[in-house]
Each structure stands twice: as structure tokens, then as C-alpha cells.
Structure 1
Amino acid sequence: MNTQLLSYYEAIEQASADMLNAARSGNWDEVVKLEGACVLLISQLKHAASRDQLAPEEAKLKTRIMQRILLNDAEIRHLAEPWLEDLDRVMSGKSKMVH
């Protein structure tokens, strides 16, 4: 059993759940911070996966973890849409004031 690889997937899942909780509370600074942690974990996972691979039963668990990560990501994106639209409006307004 390759617990190291699975632990990376689980850590990424936990970070994505934390990102979702931060997004639900409107704490976008925390979302961005956690996103950076995810990028680092994914990089470490890629490196570890180049050396090791999962057994078939572990691959099934990985698939379930990935599905939960994707669901978290979809909800974060949905929650971010109004915030991104507001940011776009603010940036558009600032560029008009500068010119």
C-alpha cells in the first residue's frame, strides 16, 4: 500500500475543503493562501507519483478523493463568480479614472 501518495491526495482534498469553507465565509484572502498550498502539494504529488504508483484498490480511493476535490472546486468557482464580477467592475472603473 502506498500511503505516501494517498496522503498527498488526502492533503489536497483537505485543503480544497478548507478553501470551500473560506469561500463560503467570503474570506478570499484565505482561499488564495490555501490555493498556494494546493499548488505546492500538487507539485510534491507529481514528483512522488513519478517514482511510485497506486495499487488498483488505492486507485479507486484516489478516484473518490478526486471527485470530492472537483465538487469542492466547482462550488468554490460558483461562489467566486460574484466576487470576480465585482473585481472586474472595480478594475474597469479604476482604469477609466486613471485615463
Structure 2
Amino acid sequence: MTHPAPVDVLEYYRALEQASERMLQAAEADDWDRVAELEGACALLIERLREAGQRAELSPAERAEKHRIMLAILRHDARIRELAEPWLDVWESTPPGSRSVLLH
């Protein structure tokens, strides 16, 4: 018998989706400081989700919602990486001693 998942499990997934969407918006605005800040918030949500998710059994509808959210997060992540690649190319082509100029 499947027990309903605590509300907080899907809420964590939804919060993670919202945070990844905000990360994408920040990346699109070329606000990489904000992206890094939100990345830290996502890491915290992921840790809490791991803890809550270990105790939860999701119903078929909840699993479908989780699947939808995970796909959205993956799409956000792919787009963020796409936006970050030109910056990463510049970073990698800059000699290590000169990289601090890129950070300011």
C-alpha cells in the first residue's frame, strides 16, 4: 500500500523548480553573481529534499508532477550552461594570473 507523500516533498521540488527558473532569469540578464547565489540556495533545497525524499512514497500523480518538475529543471540547467559557455571560454583562455581582472 502506498502512503501519500508528505506535502513538503513536492513543495521542495516546486521550490527547486522556481529557484532554477530564477537562476535562468539571472543568467539571461548576465547577472552571474545572482546565479551563484541561487545555486547555493538550490544546493540547500536539494539537501533538504534528499532527507525528506528518503521517507516519502509518491503516488502516480505525485511521481508525474515530480517528473514534470525534473524536466523543467533540466531544461533550465541546459539553457544556463548554454549562456555560461562563452564566459567559460574566456575564463579558460585567460592566463591564471590574469583571471582576477575577469572577476571585477
TM-score (norm 2): 0.85
The residue type paired with residue 65 of structure 1 is: I
Off by >3 Å, runs of 4+ in structure 1: none
Give the aligned partner of residue 69 of structure 1. 73
Partner Cα distance (1:94, 1:54) in 2: 50
Structure number having the greater helix percentage: 1
Count of matched residue pairs: 95
CA offsets, 1:39-76, max 9 Å, x none?
10000000001111211110001000100000000000
Compute the RMSD of aligned alpha carbons.
Answer: 1.5
CA offsets, 1:15-56, max 9 Å, x none?
000000000010001001100100100000000011112111
- Tell me the percent identity: 48
Unaligned runs of 5+ residues in structure 2 are 100-104
Matches within 5 A, 1:44-83: 44-83=48-87
TM-score (norm 1): 0.89
1:26 pairs with 24, 27, 30, which one?
30
